[in-house]
Amino acid sequence: MGDRVLYYDGSSIHCMGAAGGIQWSVPVGAGARFSASDRNLVVWLGTDVYVVDGNGHTTYNASQDGAVQFARVCDNYCAIVYGEDTKPVLSIRNLDGGAVDSEREAYERMLLLDVGFYGEADQYMWTLAMDVYGVSINTVLNTFQVGKMNTGLENLGEYLAYKVIYDDGSLRVFTTQQMYSFNYKAVRDMSGSQLVHGWQVIGVDFPQRGSANILLAKSEQLNAGAGLSELRVMTGTADRRFDVPNLCVGAAVQNGSIYAIAGNQIYHTGITRQQFYSHQIPLPEGVRVTRLIGVTSGGRAIVACDDSVYSVTLPR
């Protein structure tokens, strides 16, 4: 959550500073799920939805008309998907719960996969849905102007679309085969497609200006859990490959740099360079990193070492 870390202990969600120390906690009960933006948190359990701001204050708490499948939140809106699997209802609300829009018919006989907001002041929204009742499975991208109108629809085909990134005025949609590029109305840029078969997005870095740096790793290495040996960064039309010095448990991209973690080492390089530099992580003797959980906006890696979690400052 920006430069903070959220964790759920089975009864409450806690917000910690990146260097440690609980800032606030929200009791939500057992079996809850949640999603967060840099500034807000949305929690769902059964038919109940809670929206929590960055200070830990609940701004909306209400029961929906059906079991909540998932929810997403941004700086201005919350999207709630509830109801039956293939008869979902999409409800858009302000962060204080005021109704903005609702869609009950567009996703009839479809599985809603994900929802996101984009554009200045989050005025646009995309959805990914899967048609499972057609002759063949088809993933569909819809774009909307929030509270006003449907701006576009695109059939993506049978390959699963799993990631949408709003990058420098374009929507980059990643499937297990291809990356497609669209404008805000879901009109495809035919020159913006790139083959990504065998690769999976694991991180995104948004610079203040210019295109996002999108980090990918080999799908087979991620699935096998054997460690990462090769990374790929896509920036606009540039496509770069990197060989990591040792098998790593995870990698991240931030502020124009790539970080890969193995054992008690952080390997660091710039996106426009190829040579990695090694930095030792100051862990207790005999402790090794077993998983990279994530990277905060302030430049700290949150890592797991078996059943312990550490916050590590990333080298510059």
For residue 257, name the pLDDT band (cuts at 50, 70, 90).
very high
CATH 2.40.10 domain span(s) along the chain: 109-197
Answer for the pair 91, 108: CB distance below 8 angstroms, yes or no: no
**Domain 109-197 part of CATH 2.40.10:** yes
| pLDDT for residue 200 is more than 80 | yes
CATH 2.120.10.30 domain span(s) along the chain: 1-105
Which whole number is the average pLDDT over 103-116?
92
d(CA 118, CA 74): 9
The residue whose two tokens read 């390997």 is 267
The whole-number pLDDT of residue 122 equals 94
pLDDT in tens, 179-192: 999 988 889 998 88
Mean pLDDT of all residues belonging to the chain: 94
The DSSP result for 31-85, as a single string, is: T-EEEE-SS-EEEEETTEEEEE-TTS-EEEEEE-SS-EEEEEE-SSEEEEEEEET
The residue whose two tokens read 């903070």 is 4
d(CA 311, CA 76): 30
Joined tokens for residue 164:
């949408």
Taking Cα atoms as reference points, which of 267, 30, 113, 240 lies closest to residue 43? 30
Q: Could you give phi then psi for residue 75, rounded to 5 degrees?
A: -75, -25
CATH 2.130.10.10 domain span(s) along the chain: 198-316
What's domain 198-316's superfamily in CATH? YVTN repeat-like/Quinoprotein amine dehydrogenase (2.130.10.10)
For residue 137, name the pLDDT band (cuts at 50, 70, 90).
confident
pLDDT in tens, 262-275: 999 999 999 999 89
The whole-number pLDDT of residue 58 equals 97
**Domain 1-105 part of CATH 2.120.10.30:** yes
Answer for the pair 54, 35: CB distance below 8 angstroms, yes or no: no
pTM: 0.93
Answer for the pair 204, 211: CB distance below 8 angstroms, yes or no: no
Distances (CA, A) of 274 to 20, 205, 210, 265: 33, 18, 21, 18
